[in-house]
Amino acid sequence: MFVQKGLLIVLSGPSGVGKGTVCSVLRKEQSDIVYSVSATTRSPRIGEVEGINYFFKTREAFQQMIQNNELLEWAEYVGNYYGTPRRFVEETIQQGKDIILEIEVQGALKVKQTYPEGIFIFLIPPSLAELKNRIIHRGTENDENLIRRMNAAKEELKMLKYYDYAVVNDEISKAVKRIQAIIEAERLRKERILPYYEQWLKEEL
Ligand SMILES: Nc1nc2c(ncn2[C@@H]2O[C@H](COP(=O)(O)OP(=O)(O)O)[C@@H](O)[C@H]2O)c(=O)[nH]1
Ligand SMILES: Nc1ncnc2c1ncn2[C@@H]1O[C@H](COP(=O)(O)OP(=O)(O)O)[C@@H](O)[C@H]1O
């Protein structure tokens, strides 16, 4: 019996598009997908929990993680560091479980170098005006940060071309269904089964 490696799924998209919201619904609906918890130097928002939303780190502790090669990738985003703990990702995939990394575009491109077989999904807003509305309504950013995130968003949206799938987050439930459909189809890719299949065909009856 072979354990097939799990899928590595990367979900990116501009701040406020709904990555966190969509992921939390996916998390509830699909317990067979594991979520990678990132390390960050950003301060916790109200309601965010250490080890669930992020591992909150000082800049010194984060730099130590980089030096120890503990991060699969890391990037600076709007003045803070964010990074993916490497070991958890490697172990999860080796165990045959699928994992989602919710990370920004620079980090996603680094992951693509290590895992070209990864599945890269880009969540896009119905419009830039709607994106701005969502960030304002979330109520977590001051005016300066809102502008910085909107500027970052425009740059990030240009990176869609490096991704495999573009999912519009018009309605949360629809966006979740689209992502589930992608995962379901990717699980059935023939490339995942061919090595084992050829082995089976050699077995004596
Ligand atoms: N490269 C990288 N980006 C991350 C990681 N974790 C989170 N991010 C991204 O960092 C950006 C800022 O995240 P956050 O401060 O939580 O703000 P939000 O996206 O507006 O909720 C988002 O694009 C996240 O997807 C990580 O481990 N690595
Ligand atoms: N499809 C949607 N329609 C309307 N509002 C949404 C939708 N998806 C998310 N939101 C809202 O937009 C805001 C930003 O969502 P969030 O998940 O924090 O985004 P991100 O993690 O990408 O920064 C939140 O207030 C959330 O409730």
| Domains of the chain from N-terminus onward | 8-36+98-202 (3.40.50.300)
Q: Rounded to whole angstroms, what are the CA distances from 100 to 37, 145, 156, 177, 192?
A: 9, 27, 19, 15, 18
Mean pLDDT comparison of 26-30, 177-181, 191-195, highest-scoring range: 177-181
Nearest Cα neighbor of 22 from 89, 33, 51, 80 is 33
Which pTM was predicted?
0.94
Q: Return d(Cα 15, Cα 44) in angstroms, integer.
A: 16
- What is the tens place of the pLDDT at every residue in 148-179? 989 999 999 999 999 999 999 999 999 999 99
ipTM (interface pTM): 0.96
DSSP E strands, 103-183: 119-124, 165-168
Lookup result for tokens 């502790």: 61
State the pairing for strand pair 8-12/119-124.
Answer: parallel
Measured in Å, residue 188 CA sits from the centre of ligand 2 at 30
**pLDDT-derived band of residue 69, with 50, 70 and 90 as boundaries?**
very high
Best of 28, 121, 138 to mutate for ligand 2, by most ligand atoms within 8 A of CB?
A: 138
- For the Cβ of 15 lying below 6 angstroms from any atom of ligand 2, the answer is yes
